[in-house]
Amino acid sequence: MSGVQARWRVRFFGQVQHVGFRYTALYFARKAYLTGWVKNLSDGSVLLEAQGGTAQLRKFLIQLKSQPHIHIEKMDITVLPLQPYERGFQVKTA
């Protein structure tokens, strides 16, 4: 990780469930050495928290948006406090 560290909560709207979104996010997050988690919400949106360098976070979101099977219509991003002891990135099921 390099640069300024940040933690973002991102809520994704659009065709983001039943398209492999969570496991695509897991793959790109681990590749970028981000920590955090991703989960489906009951309203059809997906909620994600990711932490790492701001450049890596931006690239991560661009990678997700560029996937042909994922159609993100809207993203709500909130900046959160860092969680310094968090390790790894996971898919939450509940």
Q: Which domains does the chain have, with CATH numbers?
A: 5-82 (3.30.70.100)
User: What per-residue confidence (pLDDT) applies to 94?
Assistant: 66
The pTM (predicted TM-score) of the whole model is 0.92
Q: What does the pLDDT look like over 36-60, one tens digit per residue?
A: 999 999 999 999 999 999 999 999 9
Work out the mean pLDDT of the chain and round it to a whole number: 94
Q: How far apart are CA 32 and CA 57, in angstroms?
A: 8
Do the Cβ atoms of 51 and 6 come closer than 8 Å? yes
Distances (CA, A) of 3 to 15, 35, 59: 32, 15, 13
Phi, psi for 92 (deg, rounded to 5): -95, 140
Q: What is the CA radius of gyration of the chain?
A: 12
Low-confidence ranges of the chain (pLDDT < 50): 1
**Which residues lie across from 38 on neighbouring strands?**
48, 91
- Active-site residues, by number, are 22, 40
| Chain centroid, CA 56 distance in Å | 11
What pLDDT is recorded for position 1?
Answer: 45
